[in-house]
């Protein structure tokens, strides 16, 4: 606490990112980074962009990048927004589409799962947006009917994190329909597709043509192996995109730098490379998920590039410490209902072989 902090800063409880150890030696399975490198074309594009042009500001509209994204998803560039990682895009979306308690007299709370990406409550708090966490079912799945009630908006990550469970497209569509009715009741349905590329037929971005209240949020951090570049984007109808631009231009018009724009364009254009990389991640995830139950672990079925697992007869904290002693970093959320689970990002085949070995030795203890 500092006497110089204002009231807002005093009451914040910021997001705590996963550890990024500076020393090597760890098998790092704690922040859902892709274990494979970005496309060589991305590196080439960034190197080419690292020249005299850096004296100029980047294109604030990110036109080339938005056109590449639009082409890939079958939408118009005006239906695409690019930002400095999807965390920034999410923060802007919360600010643009959800009513704060101090705005309208009585704002309806927004809805998101009780066990989900822990940045959502942080943004809600930052912008004074009332929210109501909706409990997951006992098997950690999202009960879509629970979200069909009057709300200031809904936020659904698909697949959900850290559980990895996914909803079907038709379930999501029924939700968009519920919240898109005209008049006072209409509200935005935000689908965070950070991990959609690791699932089967999950992407809903092309459905923005039928659902004016749908905003999908995407990141190059996971599926495009570019967590270090900080590029995310959103797809939605033009009015929604203009709303995001209004927030951005009230904050910082140049959130995506020139090198990031160049690298991101190359990544979007090299879909075949990433198809190959992510098929490998999916195959490894399925292999590890299938092997763990026989070793004494419960695995929540995942469609992400991570799995959520529990060592039978052990607490999450004990299992976490054991893995750390063995040089394996994973993520532990000290939160009701999932405190005994660990989220394990899918690494390379070799890393996951070592992980399975360590899991086997832990069971024998
Ligand atoms: C990783 C993650 C993000 C953030 O991605 P960045 O683009 O790196 O900011 C957003 N949502 C979910 C659910 C994530 O897991």
- DSSP for 189-208, please give it: EEEE-TTGGGSSS---GGGG
Q: Is the pLDDT of residue 104 over 70?
A: no
- Rounded to whole angstroms, the Cα distance separating 219 from 106 reads 33
Q: What single-letter DSSP state applies at residue 335?
A: -
For residues 184 and 328, which has the higher predicted lDDT (pLDDT)? 328
Q: Is the pLDDT of residue 16 over 90?
A: no
| pLDDT per residue as tens digits for the range 53-82 | 999 999 999 999 999 999 999 999 999 999
Q: From the CA of 183, how far away is ligand 1's center (Å)?
A: 32
Q: From the CA of 141, how far away is ligand 1's center (Å)?
A: 20
| pLDDT per residue as tens digits for the range 200-214 | 999 999 999 999 999
| pLDDT per residue as tens digits for the range 122-148 | 999 999 999 999 999 999 999 999 999
Instruction: Give the largest Cα separation in the chain, rounded.
Output: 61
Q: Cα torsion for 256, 261, 267, 269, to the nearest 10°?
A: 130
Q: What's the pLDDT at 281? A: 98
Q: From the CA of 161, how far away is ligand 1's center (Å)?
A: 10
Ligand 1 atom nearest 157 alpha carbon: 13
Atom 1 of ligand 1: nearest residue by CA position: 194
Q: What's the pLDDT at 166? A: 98
Task: Indicate the top mutation candidate among 155, 194, 218 to test ligand 1's pocket, ranked by most ligand atoms within 8 A of CB.
Answer: 194
**Percent of the chain surpassing pLDDT 70:** 98
Helices 85-97 and 238-248, interaxial angle, to 10°?
100
Ligand 1 atom nearest 160 alpha carbon: 13
Helix, strand, coil: what percent of the chain each, to 5?
40, 15, 45
Task: Indicate the top mutation candidate among 161, 226, 343, 344 to test ligand 1's pocket, ranked by most ligand atoms within 8 A of CB.
Answer: 161
CATH 3.30.360.10 is right for the domain spanning 19-37+272-363: no
Ligand 1 atom nearest 222 alpha carbon: 1
Q: Taking the complete model, does pTM exceed 0.85, yes or no?
A: yes
| pLDDT per residue as tens digits for the range 331-347 | 999 888 999 999 999 99
Q: From the CA of 219, how far away is ligand 1's center (Å)?
A: 6
Q: From the CA of 189, how far away is ligand 1's center (Å)?
A: 17
Q: What's the pLDDT at 330? A: 97
Residues with CB under 6 A from ligand 1: 32, 85-87, 117, 157, 161, 192, 194, 219, 221-222, 227, 232
At the second CATH level, the architecture of 40-269 is 3-Layer(aba) Sandwich (3.40)
| CA dihedral over 312, 315, 320, 321, signed as positive or negative | negative
- Rounded to whole angstroms, the Cα distance separating 213 from 65 reads 23
- Rounded to whole angstroms, the Cα distance separating 8 from 356 reads 45
Q: Which of 342, 276, 281 lies closest to 308, judged by CA?
A: 342
Q: Give the domain ranges of the chain.
A: 19-37+272-363, 40-269
Q: From the CA of 99, how far away is ligand 1's center (Å)?
A: 23
Q: What's the pLDDT at 183? A: 62
Q: From the CA of 87, how far away is ligand 1's center (Å)?
A: 6
Q: Is the pLDDT of residue 161 over 70?
A: yes
- Per-residue confidence at 105, pLDDT binned at 50, 70, 90? low
Q: From the CA of 156, how far away is ligand 1's center (Å)?
A: 13
Atom 15 of ligand 1: nearest residue by CA position: 194
């Amino acid at each position: 606490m500092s006497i110089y902090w204002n009231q807002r800063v005093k009451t914040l409880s910021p997001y705590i990112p996963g550890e990024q150890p500076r020393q090597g030696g760890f098998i790092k399975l704690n922040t859902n980074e892709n274990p494979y490198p970005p496309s060589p074309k991305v590196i080439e594009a960034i190197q080419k962009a690292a020249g005299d042009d850096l004296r100029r500001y980047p294109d604030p509209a990110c036109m080339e990048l938005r056109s590449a994204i639009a082409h890939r998803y079958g939408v118009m560039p005006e239906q695409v927004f690019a930002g400095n990682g999807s965390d920034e895009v999410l923060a802007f979306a919360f600010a643009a589409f959800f009513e704060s308690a101090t705005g309208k007299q009585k704002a309806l709370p927004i809805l998101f799962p009780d066990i989900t990406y822990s940045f959502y409550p942080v943004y809600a708090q930052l912008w004074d947006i009332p929210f109501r966490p909706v409990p997951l079912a006992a098997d950690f799945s999202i009960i879509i009917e629970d979200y069909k009630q009057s709300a200031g908006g809904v936020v659904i990550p698909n697949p959900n994190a850290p559980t990895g469970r996914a909803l079907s497209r038709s379930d999501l569509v029924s939700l968009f329909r519920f919240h898109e009715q005209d008049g006072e009741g209409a509200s935005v349905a935000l689908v965070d597709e950070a991990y959609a590329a690791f699932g089967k037929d999950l992407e809903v971005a092309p459905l923005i043509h039928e659902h004016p209240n749908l905003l999908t949020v995407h990141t190059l951090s996971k599926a495009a192996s570019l967590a270090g570049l900080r590029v995310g984007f959103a797809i939605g109808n033009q009015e929604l995109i203009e709303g995001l631009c209004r927030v951005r231009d009230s904050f910082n018009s140049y959130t995506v730098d020139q090198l990031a724009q160049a690298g991101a364009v190359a990544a979007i254009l090299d879909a075949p490379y990433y198809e190959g990389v992510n098929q490998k991640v999916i195959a490894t995830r399925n292999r590890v998920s299938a092997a763990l139950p026989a070793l004494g672990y419960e695995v929540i079925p995942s469609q992400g590039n991570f799995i959520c697992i529990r060592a039978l007869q052990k607490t999450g904290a004990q299992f976490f410490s054991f893995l750390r002693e063995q040089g394996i970093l994973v993520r532990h959320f000290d939160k009701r209902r999932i405190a005994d689970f660990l989220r394990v990002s899918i690494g390379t085949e070799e890393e996951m072989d070592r992980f399975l070995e360590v899991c086997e030795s832990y069971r024998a203890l």
